[in-house]
Amino acid sequence: MNDDLPTQLIDTFGRVHTNLRISVTDRCNIRCFYCMPEHNVQFKPRSEILTFEEIVRFTKITAGLGVNKIRLTGGEPLVRQNLDQLVRAIRGIDRIDDIALTTNGILLADQAEALKSAGLDRLNISLDTLDPDTFFKISRRSGLDAVLAGIEAAQQCQFKKIRLNAIAITQLTESSILPLATFARERRLELRFIEFMPLDADDAWSQDQVLTGQKIRSMIESEFGPLVPKTDVDPSQPSTDYSYTDLDLCVGFINPVSQPFCGSCNRLRLTAEGQIRNCLFSTVEWDARKMMRSGGSDADIARLLVECISRKKKGHGIDSVEFDRPQRAMYQIGG
Ligand code: SF4
């Protein structure tokens, strides 16, 4: 590309951005209260959602700026038709060496094989509880059996990694922590607990609903003994990982509220309708779709990316009085 363009996306704090999270849809087949409103969800019209060709073009441009890891998200990405075709196209992009997907697992049993053969490397499957009533309280839909069938099918496919993600919420999921840890141990699945973040659509989040990683860790240690900190980890990963004393299996804690990890952040995001976000909590966006659909060149879009990253703040600021919640809820960002 052009001489005025860098080969890496480095912000003013020296953070190198190599990880692009792409939301392929804002739609979902359940309604988790920490992510979506229960009723009257305003989904974007199809014409505003990026086509696979536009997503591939954008991904190629970011690969030229040093991005090498892609995570596909939503809404729920598996509700987007023919997603395996997008995975195959991204697999063909030079310098992209890892493709992952985050799913609620409900449609996974039918799609796992096609995604694997298209070149998907890793899967994160959301599983906050094994209790059907708690599942319904959280997602306002039933579907736990389908998620468990999805996990089963995915384990047959030999992905590089399958990880369970559990949002932890005071009282609501506390009784689910140990059953989830046991479930993951029995199936040799990595498990991560994620603190509840102020990105719920109904703006009902409060600090006292945050079940901290520290609290969850002590619950697990009381049952399975002391956890051993893992040392061979990616320094920019959001999780603090451990393994069990009796089992070399990873259990991790993503603590954006109690222990922010913004100092080593390497992530940028593309929304389903083509807005670039330099942070999950960004209140400003850069319109790549408009540029792509109005004849902008690849270099123009690359410059937009460079500007976006140059304006990235030091951190999310959730704990500061100036904290300004994004206008978007989680399903409109993609986590
Ligand atoms: S909150 Fe923003 S800066 Fe912090 S880790 Fe997440 S995306 Fe990065």
pLDDT band at 203 (very low <50, low <70, confident <90, very high): confident
In a domain, 12, yes or no: no
For 84-101, write each residue's pLDDT tens digit.
999 999 999 999 999 999
Q: What is the pLDDT of residue 1?
A: 54
Ligand 1, CB cutoff 6 Å, lining residues: 261-262, 265, 267, 279-281, 315-316
For 116-170, write each residue's pLDDT tens digit.
999 999 999 999 999 999 999 999 999 999 999 999 999 999 999 999 999 999 9
Residue 232 gets which letter from DSSP?
Answer: S
C-alpha to C-alpha distance for 151 and 157, rounded to whole angstroms = 10
Which residue's entry shows tokens 């694997």?
Answer: 116
The Å distance, Cα 260 to ligand 1 centre, comes to 8
Give percent above pLDDT 90 in the chain. Answer: 89
pLDDT band at 320 (very low <50, low <70, confident <90, very high): confident
Burial call 166-202: b when 16+ CB within 10 Å, e when fewer: bbbbeebbeebbeebbebbbeeebbbbbbbbbbbbbe
The Å distance, Cα 319 to ligand 1 centre, comes to 13
Q: Take atom 1 of ligand 1 and give the residue whose Cα is closest.
A: 316
Phi, psi of 294 (to 5 degrees): -115, 25
Residue 326 neighbours by CB distance under 10 Å: 19
In a domain, 6, yes or no: no
Which residue's entry shows tokens 């703006």?
Answer: 203
Q: Using DSSP, state whether 250 is helix, strand or coil.
A: strand
In a domain, 3, yes or no: no
Q: Supply the angle between the helices 108-118 and 144-156 in degrees, to the nearest 10.
A: 30
Phi, psi of 246 (to 5 degrees): -95, 0
Looking at per-residue confidence, does 324 or 266 come out higher?
A: 266
Mean pLDDT, rounded, of the chain = 96
Looking at per-residue confidence, does 3 or 193 come out higher?
A: 193
Q: What is the pLDDT of residue 217?
A: 98
Residue 220's domain spans which residues? Answer: 19-333
In a domain, 76, yes or no: yes
In a domain, 5, yes or no: no
Pocket test for ligand 1, best of 280, 284, 285 (most atoms within 8 A of CB): 280
In a domain, 10, yes or no: no
Closest ligand 1 atom to the C-alpha of 261? Answer: 5
> Is the Cβ–Cβ distance between 76 and 27 less than 8 Å?
yes
Residue 331 confidence (pLDDT) above 60 = yes
In a domain, 293, yes or no: yes
Pocket test for ligand 1, best of 262, 276, 328 (most atoms within 8 A of CB): 262
In a domain, 8, yes or no: no
Number of folded domains that form the chain: 1
Which CATH number fits the domain that encloses residue 213?
Answer: 3.20.20.70
